[in-house]
């Protein structure tokens, strides 16, 4: 099936409350253009340099999401144009995003990445650390950051009950944070990839990040 028909099929299958981020990391600009011609405008990349190169080359109405781990010294490259950063995973990083956003006269949409998987290698806040950080209140001074929700990557496993338990926990944390610390603008629950997006949607996802299903297996 072509990239265009994959996009069409996904758009038809996803509930209207769920936004599709087409994860184009490692795929060439020509593949992104195929998805673009099929109407897709939101793309996700995980490396700042690759994101910047594609941003420069491709149409200006693409909404670029950074979905992967971000080093603080790389924030300045994406701050001028990035639409959303999914990997807000430390106090230091949030502070740097805030500063770089203000330098560019912007407020950047950011998700708090939560560590929900069993693998230690995965990124993100531990729940108790995040609750302590938010309770301390410093985040309210970060006027360059618009806190939009949370993001999580489930354990890489065939055991969908494990994945479901992780997504259920993330969904509950999302609801708790919205009532305790934020408001209705905290509206984005980014969870679900090629292997697990149907389960993520059942657990309340509002944004899925799908790459290999659309573009084919990465090399
Ligand atoms: C690569 C990646 C995805 C997409 O993964 P697929 O399995 O190709 O759909 C989603 N989220 C993050 C954080 C990723 O790094």
- The reply to whether CATH 3.40.50.300 applies to domain 3-215 is no
Residue 136 CA, ligand 1 centroid: distance in Å: 32
> What's the confidence (pLDDT) of residue 218?
78
Q: Buried (b) or exposed (e) across 144-164, using 16+ Cβ within 10 A? A: bbebbbbbbbbeeeeeeeebb
- Furthest-apart CA atoms within the chain: distance in Å: 51
Give me the residue spans of the domains in the chain.
3-215
Which residue out of 51, 70, 115, 209 has the highest number of ligand 1 atoms within 8 Å of its CB and is therefore the one to mutate? 209
CA distances from 134 to 105, 118, 176 (A): 25, 24, 12
Render 92-122 in DSSP notation, one character per residue.
Answer: HHHHHHHHHHHHTT--EEEEEEE--SS-TTS
Residue 113 CA, ligand 1 centroid: distance in Å: 14
d(CA 172, CA 80): 33
In the 8-state DSSP scheme, what is residue 182?
-
Q: Is the CB of 67 under 6 A from ligand 1?
A: yes
Q: Is the CB of 152 under 6 A from ligand 1?
A: no
> What's the confidence (pLDDT) of residue 219?
63
For residue 25, the SS3 value is: coil
From first to last of its 219 residues, what are the pLDDT tens digits of the chain? 899 999 999 999 999 999 999 999 999 999 999 999 999 999 999 999 999 999 999 999 999 999 999 999 999 999 999 999 999 999 999 999 999 999 999 999 999 999 999 887 778 999 999 999 999 999 999 999 999 999 999 999 999 999 999 999 999 999 999 999 999 999 999 999 999 999 999 999 999 999 999 999 876
């Amino acid at each position: 099936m072509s990239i265009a028909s994959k996009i069409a099929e996904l758009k038809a299958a996803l509930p209207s409350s769920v936004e599709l981020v087409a994860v184009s990391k490692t795929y060439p600009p020509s593949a992104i253009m195929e998805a673009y011609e099929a109407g897709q405008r939101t793309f996700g990349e995980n490396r700042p340099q690759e994101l910047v190169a594609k941003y420069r080359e491709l149409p200006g109405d693409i909404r670029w999401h950074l979905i992967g781990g971000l080093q603080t010294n790389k924030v300045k490259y994406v701050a001028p144009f990035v639409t959303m950063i999914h990997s807000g995973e430390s106090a230091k990083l949030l502070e740097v995003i805030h500063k770089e956003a203000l330098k560019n006269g912007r407020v950047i949409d950011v998700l708090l990445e939560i560590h929900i998987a069993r693998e230690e290698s995965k990124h993100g806040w531990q729940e108790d650390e995040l609750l302590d950080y938010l309770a301390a209140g410093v985040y309210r001074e970060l006027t360059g950051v618009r806190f939009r929700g949370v993001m999580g990557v489930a354990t890489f496993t065939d055991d969908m009950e494990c994945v479901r338990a992780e997504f259920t926990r993330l969904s509950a944390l999302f609801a708790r944070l919205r009532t305790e610390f934020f408001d209705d603008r905290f509206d984005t629950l980014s969870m679900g990839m090629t292997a697990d997006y149907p389960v993520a949607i059942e657990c309340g996802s509002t944004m899925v990040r799908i790459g290999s299903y659309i573009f084919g297996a990465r090399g």
